[in-house]
Amino acid sequence: MSITKSLFIKKYTESIIRDEAAVFAGAGYSREAGFCDWKGLLRDIANDIELDIEKETDYISLAQYYENSNGYNTLCNTILDSFSRYKNNYTLAKAVEALPIKTYWTTNFDHFIEDTLRNDFKKLVDVKRTTKNLACNLRNRDVTVYKFHGDIDDLSSLIITKSDYESFERDHLQFINALNGDFINKTFVFIGYSFNDPDLFNVLRSIRLTFDKNKRTHYAIFKRPSISDFKNEKEFNYATVKHSLKITDLKRYGIESVEIDDYSEISSIFELIKKRYLLNNIYIAGSCRKLPDNWNQNQADAFLCRLGYELAKNSFKVCTGCIEGVGPQVENGVLNAVVENNLNLNNSLDIKRLPLINGNLNHMNNESKEVMRNDIYGKNGVTIFLFGNQYYDGVNLPSKGVMRDYERARAQDMYLIPVGSTGGASKEILFEIEKDIENFPYLKNHLDILKNCTEPEILVNTIFKILDFIKNC
Point out the residues that are catalytic: 149
- Rounding to the nearest 10 degrees, give the CA dihedral for residues 275, 279, 283, 285: 90
> What is the C-alpha to C-alpha distance for residues 451 and 402, in angstroms, rounded to an integer?
17
> What is the C-alpha to C-alpha distance for residues 351 and 319, in angstroms, rounded to an integer?
6
> What is the C-alpha to C-alpha distance for residues 430 and 239, in angstroms, rounded to an integer?
54
| H/E segment holding residue 222 | strand 218-223
Where do the DSSP E strands lie in 19-71? 21-25
- Using alpha carbons, select from 98, 14, 93, 7 the residue that is nearest to residue 267: 93
Determine phi and psi for 213, rounding to 5 degrees: -75, -15
Note the residue count of the chain: 473
State the SS3 of 318-343.
Answer: EEECCCCCCHHHHHHHHHHHHHHCCC
The CB density around residue 467, as the number of other CB atoms within 10 Å, is 21
The CB density around residue 429, as the number of other CB atoms within 10 Å, is 27
Determine phi and psi for 78, rounding to 5 degrees: -65, -40
What residue type is assigned to position 158 of the chain? L
The CB density around residue 70, as the number of other CB atoms within 10 Å, is 15
| H/E segment holding residue 116 | helix 112-121
Cβ atoms 363, 354 nearer than 8 A: no
